[in-house]
Amino acid sequence: MNLIEAQQIIAEVVTGRRRVASKEVDSAYDILKQNSGYKAALSELLEAASEDCSCQDFQGRIAEFRELSPAEREDELPEMAAHAEFCLPCRRALWEKEQKIWKTLATAARTHCRVLTEPLRLVLQRGERIEERGTGFPSVEPFLALGAQMTLGPSDDLAPPLRHRRKEWFLKDDDADCGVRLLVELTGTGQTTLRCSLEGETGKVPQLDQVRIEIRRARSNSLFLAGPLSNFQADPIVLTPEAWLIKLIPSNALDILPWEIPLELENSEDWTDD
């Protein structure tokens, strides 16, 4: 890799034009550091990124983009789809107004359930880092309710590095007057853990022992675990990198449709087992 190639790689990472493996980024950065003018080169790249029109282009066509399915976006607007994968502000803008989080689908058993309109997709990077991908509903800061309540250590332990290894969502369902809070964390031992709870106005949130959780492997639909949601509050659920379906099924007496959350976990390209 020469200096020009290294500059191009860093520019593509900064502007979010394409996905680059961590090893490739590290190599490009090392080459830039060997150049006496690398600080000036990095400054120019950052300045160019600030002037990049990708965000303006995306938000200027966001209504058009919102109307397309994920497959149609990849086919008709691939540059915008790639940009949204890496640009959290644009993904948040995508979901700010008319985009619906849930859709109601009929199951094979002729019942109905609420399913996320787009899966949550996470890439696990070596070194305790999780990155969001795709155009699914964006995460919130991991220092809010569930993140604080479920941390075993004191609140001071919620240091900035956690934002690199935790992703948290609050998936509100207006039809049910409550929502699902989901927390995914990459631990220091390389395990990926899941915690799940329900939140909403007092008196409208189902009790955890009134809700059954089922986690299935998406490709085979085979059951991984199941039981009352209350059974899985003390300790997190450990998941391997693959595609999962998380289903929360309230008691029939509650007259609330089940929720189904597709969660895709994958290792980064440069993740190899020791």
pLDDT in tens, 59-108: 888 889 988 888 898 889 888 888 888 788 888 888 887 678 999 988 76
CA proximity to 243, closest of 136, 133, 140, 122: 122
274 occurs within a structural domain: no
Q: Quick one: pLDDT band at residue 163, thresholds 50, 70, 90?
A: low
Q: Are strands 223-228 and 259-267 parallel, antiparallel or unpaired?
A: unpaired
Mean pLDDT of 39-57: 59
197 and 215, same domain (yes or no) = yes
200 occurs within a structural domain: yes
58 and 13, same domain (yes or no) = yes
7's enclosing H/E stretch is helix 3-15
The encoded tokens of residue 208 equal 């955890």
143 occurs within a structural domain: yes
273 occurs within a structural domain: no
**Cut 0.85: pTM above it:** no
Q: Quick one: pLDDT band at residue 213, thresholds 50, 70, 90?
A: very high
Mean pLDDT of 194-212: 90
Mean pLDDT of 161-180: 86
169 occurs within a structural domain: yes
The pLDDT of residue 59: 83
How many domains in the chain? 2
Q: Which of 39, 58, 93 marks a domain boundary?
A: 93
Q: Which of 31, 64, 93 marks a domain boundary?
A: 93
178 and 243, same domain (yes or no) = yes
How far is residue 196's CA from residue 190's CA, in Å, rounded to a whole number? 20
Q: What is the DSSP letter of 140?
A: B
80 and 138, same domain (yes or no) = no
Write down the mean pLDDT value for the chain: 79
125 and 224, same domain (yes or no) = yes
144 and 79, same domain (yes or no) = no
Q: Which residues have C-beta within 8 Å of that of residue 145, sequence separation ≥ 6?
A: 181, 199
223 occurs within a structural domain: yes
59 and 173, same domain (yes or no) = no
Q: Residue 56: left (phi > 0), alpha (psi -120 to 50), or beta?
A: alpha
125 and 62, same domain (yes or no) = no
Q: Which of 93, 127, 162 marks a domain boundary?
A: 93
221 occurs within a structural domain: yes
165 and 259, same domain (yes or no) = yes
How far is residue 194's CA from residue 178's CA, in Å, rounded to a whole number? 20
Q: Between these two residues, 162 and 234, which has the higher pLDDT value?
A: 234
Mean pLDDT of 199-220: 91
The pLDDT of residue 131: 87
Range of 129's domain?
A: 102-267
- Window from 29-43, 158-172, 200-214 with minimum mean pLDDT: 29-43
53 and 147, same domain (yes or no) = no
56 occurs within a structural domain: yes
What crossing angle do the helices spanning 3-15 and 22-34 adopt, rounded to 10°?
130
36 and 154, same domain (yes or no) = no
Q: Does the pLDDT at position 155 exceed 70? A: no
Whether residue 208 contacts residue 200, with contact meaning beta carbons closer than 8 Å, is answered with no
The pLDDT of residue 129: 82
86 and 126, same domain (yes or no) = no
